[in-house]
Structure 1
Amino acid sequence: TLKWVYDPDPKKAESFRKAYEATGVRVAEREEQVLDDPEVQLVAAACVTSERAALGIRVMKSGKDYFVDKAPLTTLEQLKAVKEAVRETGKKYMVSYSERLQSESAVYAGGLIQKGAIGKVIQVLGMGPHRLNAPSRPDWFFRKKYYGGILCDIGSHQIEQFLYYTGAGDATVVNSEIGNYNHPEYPELDDFGDATLVGDNGAMGY
């Protein structure tokens, strides 16, 4: 059951309510209205990337599970705080890595791997080309402290896929690089990034 929608921008909240009017969803006037509701079991969010960890911690401490768009956070300090909150509350901090979870071909590939149809996966090569489409982007998207950089924003998809497809529980970043080669008008934007990883099971990822 979809019960509440909240956004600091009332127009966005109302637009969401109209789109899902058939569910009976209501617009909350403030965040606490959602977090204090004992009937709410899970909160889904897609706020500014750098704010997702703090919101998730508030959600879990209110006794609810949390489902957030990727990337789930932007700093190692946020990661540490989230892990502590998960341990303290016993609640779930879940991430929507849509390029695998919402892609039929990616799900199918995972099924083939689980069945042993293609043997042991020893290397994953992931490419993530994206259009900039600057006019549709909010201002925070071009500020690194808010979006975390290209490897956080986009590369996290490929890293998650590498871990999943190879069955690695952890990985070491051997090398990585970022750059802004073609967009000087956005000095904090990374328009290129790559990374090489080695999984704890010996698998390689790029």
Structure 2
Amino acid sequence: MSARGRKAKVRKIKVGIIGAGGIAAGKHLPGHRGVEGVEVIAVCDIVKDKAKAFAEKHDIPYWFTDYRKMLEEMDELDAVSVCTPNNYHAGPTIAALETGKHVICEKPMAGSVKDAMAMLEAAQRTGRILQIGLQSRFNKHMMTLRRLREEGFFGEVYYGRAMAFRRRGIPASPSFITKKMAGGGPLMDIGVHVLDVFLWILGYPKPIKAFGKVDTKFGNRPNVVNPWGKWDPKQFNVEDFGMGVILFENGLTVTLETAWASHVEGSGTTFFIGDKAGATF
């Protein structure tokens, strides 16, 4: 076969995973393995048994309990997935960027604005890619809505509502229900997805004013029916409901509503309206 007819050999992208929990096993690992030319070669978790079990179950050759050691010893890593709890995103993300690795970090970006800004600064300083796991942007329907908005199909978009509401859906893990680990409740967990894609479609206008309110009405009670499993109500110290209103420089007003549990079924949908057309999604 001629050189032109030969298929070029592409070097494999080698990835490590930091945090061996459910999101790593259920989303990041199959996501990486679903891409041709990507190989997951290492995993790290501060709990030794979890790291070892994850590696053995998923045929990953190397496992660690210290992400710094993994990053220092494995020069062959091109990228890492950061799958730690929200308040522990910044440390491994910045360390990975500073050792020359690209990073895909689970949403939300961080548990605080301070941590998020430090992560952004590290990415800009090192020239590495930092991608946050806000995958709704890559949905073909969302991309179509963005294109239509850019083409002027909706006209001036002046109001919208971003909804992420559950009837019964409180996560049972301490990594979701404690401020120490999560930083917040459904606003950080599911609200971030809908608000991000909503604003991405609309070109991320500049916010100028906002107010909001959070409540805890179900998570601290022992008798709540929840198909997502049992949790310790005494540990629960984040909100289970949150709302906000945001005013933007271009005149757009957005209402954000999010809840893990509520006494309402089918509470509505996300939408925006312009002076020529509108959309629900």
Shorter-chain TM-score category?
Answer: 0.7 to 0.9
- Stretch moving more, 167-176 or 157-166: 167-176
CA RMSD of aligned residues (A): 2.6
Cα contact 2:86–2:108 (8 A) shared by 1: yes
Deviations 1:71-119 (A, max 9, x none): 1111122123223222321222211114x14655444544544555544
Residues 38-187 of structure 1: pairs in structure 2 closer than 5 A: 38-98=75-135, 100-101=136-137, 103=139, 105-114=141-150, 116-130=152-166, 131-134=168-171, 137-150=172-185, 151-185=187-221, 186=233, 187=236
Separation in 2, partners of 1:16, 1:117:
48
Equivalent in 47, 69, 73 of residue 9 of structure 1: 47
Cα contact 1:142–1:189 (8 A) shared by 2: yes
> For the structure 1 residues 39 and 193, does the alpha-carbon distance in structure 2 shift closer, same or farther, using more than 3 Å as the test?
same
Cα contact 2:212–2:245 (8 A) shared by 1: yes
Separation in 2, partners of 1:119, 1:20:
50
Separation in 1, partners of 2:194, 2:213:
15
Q: Which has the larger radius of gyration?
A: 2
Cα contact 1:13–1:27 (8 A) shared by 2: no
Deviations 1:156-184 (A, max 9, x none): 22321232011124323421110112333
Separation in 2, partners of 1:101, 1:14:
34
TM-score using structure 2 length: 0.62
- Stretch moving more, 4-13 or 74-83: 4-13
> For the structure 1 residues 180 and 115, does the alpha-carbon distance in structure 2 shift closer, same or farther, using more than 3 Å as the test?
same
Higher strand share: 2
Cα contact 1:171–1:198 (8 A) shared by 2: yes
Residue in structure 1 matched with residue 21 of structure 2 by the alignment: none
Higher helix share: 1
Aligned to 2:181, what secondary structure does the other structure show? helix
Aligned to 1:124, what secondary structure does the other structure show? strand
Residues 30-41 of structure 1: pairs in structure 2 closer than 5 A: 30-36=66-72, 37-41=74-78
> For the structure 1 residues 172 and 161, does the alpha-carbon distance in structure 2 shift closer, same or farther, using more than 3 Å as the test?
farther
Separation in 1, partners of 2:120, 2:129:
10
Cα contact 1:35–1:59 (8 A) shared by 2: yes
**Runs of 5+ consecutive residues of structure 1 not aligned to the other structure:** none
> For the structure 1 residues 183 and 33, does the alpha-carbon distance in structure 2 shift closer, same or farther, using more than 3 Å as the test?
closer
Separation in 1, partners of 2:48, 2:83:
16
Task: Read off the aligned partner of 1:91 and give its amino acid letter.
Answer: R
Separation in 2, partners of 1:188, 1:203:
33
The count of residues paired between Structure 1 and Structure 2 equals 200
